[in-house]
Amino acid sequence: MEEIKGALITVNSLLQDLTRLGVRKGTTLLVHSSFKSLGEWVLGGPVSVILALEKALGQSGTLVMPTHTSDLSDPAGWGNPPAPEAWWDTIRAEMPPYDPDLTPCRWMGIIPETFRKQKGVIRSSHPQVSFAAWGAQAKEVVSGHELDNGLGERSPLARIYDQQGWVLLLGVGNENNTSLHLAEHRANYAGKKTVECGSPVMIDGIRQWISYMDLEYESADFGRLGADFERSGGKITRGKVAGAEAVLMPQREIVDFAVRWLEQKRC
C-alpha cells in the first residue's frame, strides 16, 4: 500500500488550530486565504474551513472575506491578458452587470468563492471590491459600500476597523492584506493619486456602465510593511492551521501603524 503523506484535516482539527491561534468567539474576523496551503487531505474541502471559522467565532461573531471581481472593470486597463482595443466598446456594452448573488470572485481563491454562496451570507454592492459577511454584524459590515474609494472610509474595511476586528492571513502574506489599502486612503504620501474606474451595474432594473473614482492602489511594499510592524512589537500571533502558516493580528493596530509607515516610506 502506498504511504499517505500528511494528516487528515477535519472541521474539528481546523477548529482546534484556530482556537489555539487565538481566534475567539464574538470577534469580527477578516480572512484572506489559500486553500492549497492547508494540505492535501481537507475532508469536505473549503466547506470545512468555513464551518471551522464560523464555529470558532460563534453566533456572536462575524466572518468576513473579500469577494473581489477585478474583471468587472474598464478593458482599457486590462493587462493579464490585455484586450484588443477593437473590443473595448463591445465589452463595455455587453459585459454582464455585477450581481452579488451570481457574479463569481476573481483571484480570491476557492474559500471565499464557496463562502459567498452560503445561505445567510451577505455580499456588499461594490462591482469590483465587494466583501461577503456572515454573523452577528454582517449587515453592518457590508451595508453602505460606496462606489468611490471602494476600500476607503465607506467600505467594509472601515466598518471592521470601527468594530475593532481582526485579520487572519491563512497561508498568505501581507501582500494580500486588503486592510492596508484602508491605510493608503488615510495616509498622505508622495505619488498618491486617484484614477477613474468603470463597471457594469444594475440601476432601477436597467444595466448601465458607470464611472467612479478610486485610489491607485499599490501593494508591492506591503510585505516590508508587515515585517516592520512585527519587528516594532506589533501584536501578531503566528501559528499553524493544518499545514498553513497562519498570522492573526488586530486590524486597527496594523492599519494605524501602516498609515505612519506609508507616510515615512513612500516618498
Cα distance between residue 16 and residue 246, in whole Å: 13
Q: Contact at 8 Å (CB) between 62 and 122?
A: no
| Confidence at residue 5, expressed as pLDDT on a 0 to 100 scale | 66
Radius of gyration (C-alpha) of the chain in whole angstroms:
19
Report mean pLDDT in 10-residue bins for the chain, 267 residues. Answer: 73 98 98 97 97 98 97 93 95 97 96 98 98 98 98 98 98 98 97 96 96 97 98 96 98 98 94
CB within 8 A of 174, min separation 6: which ones? 180, 222, 223, 225, 226, 227
pLDDT per residue over 174-206, tens digit each? 999 999 999 999 999 999 999 999 999 999 999
| Confidence at residue 6, expressed as pLDDT on a 0 to 100 scale | 72
CB within 8 A of 40, min separation 6: which ones? 5, 6
pLDDT per residue over 73-115, tens digit each? 999 999 888 999 999 999 999 999 999 999 999 999 999 999 9
| Confidence at residue 162, expressed as pLDDT on a 0 to 100 scale | 98
Which amino acid appears at position 90 of this protein?
T
| Confidence at residue 267, expressed as pLDDT on a 0 to 100 scale | 81
* Per-residue buried b or exposed e for 24-38, using 16+ beta carbons within 10 Å of the residue's own CB: eeebbbbbbbbbebb
DSSP-H helix ranges across the chain: 11-21, 46-57, 88-94, 110-115, 138-142, 156-162, 179-186, 222-231, 251-265
The model's pTM is 0.95
| Confidence at residue 1, expressed as pLDDT on a 0 to 100 scale | 46
Phi, psi of 68, deg, nearest 5? -70, 155
Q: Which residue(s) pair with 212 in the sheet?
A: 197
